[in-house]
Amino acid sequence: MPRTRPNIVITGTPGVGKSSHSLLLSESTGLNLVDVNQIVKDNKFTEEYDEALQTWVVDEDRLLDEIEPQLEQGGNVIDWHVCDLFPERLIDLVVVLRCENEAKLQENLDAEIMQVVLDDAREGYDENIVVELRSDSSDDIDTNIERITQWYENWQKDHPEGV
C-alpha cells in the first residue's frame, strides 16, 4: 500500500527548536507528531548509560521496530536529534535546523556537532530532500513552518497516488 502522505524529519542540536517546529508543523498540516525521545523513554529503549557523553545509548533496533510500521503508513513529523537512523525509503524531507545560539553555547563543540548532524543527513539521504533552515527567532520559526507546509502541499499534489 503506497504512502499518501510524506514523512518529515526535523533534526538539529539541542536548543535549536526541533520540538517547537515539529509541533507547529503537525498542527498546521495534520501530520502525526512522532516525538522519538518520548517513545524511547516510554518504552525504555535504552541499552546503557554513556558516562563520557552523559547520555543514554538508545537501542536503535527496538526503536525502529516500534516506529517503522507508523512510518510505512506515512503522514509523520519526526522530532529527533539525529536522522540517519530512519530508512531512506521512508523519509521524504529532512529539515536540519541551525541557530546562532550554537556559537554562543559552546562555540566549537556545538558547531562541530551541528556539522556532524548536517553531514549525516546529507550522507544518509538524497541531497534533494535535505534542507538546512535557520532557527534564530520566532519569525524564523513562522517562516520555516510556512515553507515546510508549502512543501507538504506540493508533495501531496505531486504524489496523488502516493509513493
Report the distance separating Cα 36 and Cα 43, nearest Å: 11
**Most confident listed range (117-121, 137-141, 145-149):** 145-149
Query: Annotation-wise, does 17 bind a ligand?
Result: yes
* Domain assignment of residue 85, yes or no: yes
Q: Please check the confidence at residue 109 and state whether its pLDDT lies above 60.
A: no
Does residue 86 lie within any of the structural domains?
yes
**157 annotated as belonging to a binding site for a ligand:** no
Determine whether the annotation assigns residue 74 to a binding site. no
Q: Which domain holds residue 143?
A: 7-39+75-155
Residue 1 lies in a domain: no
15 annotated ligand binder? yes
Q: What is the DSSP string of 86-148?
A: S-GGG-SEEEEEE-THHHHHHHHHHHHHHHHHHHHHHHHS-GGGEEEEE-SSHHHHHHHHHHH
CATH number where 19 lies: 3.40.50.300
56 pLDDT exceeds 60? yes
How much is the pLDDT for 108?
45
- The predicted pLDDT at position 101 comes to 60
Cell of 150: 508549502
Q: Per the annotation, does 18 bind a ligand?
A: yes
In the chain, the number of structural domains is: 1
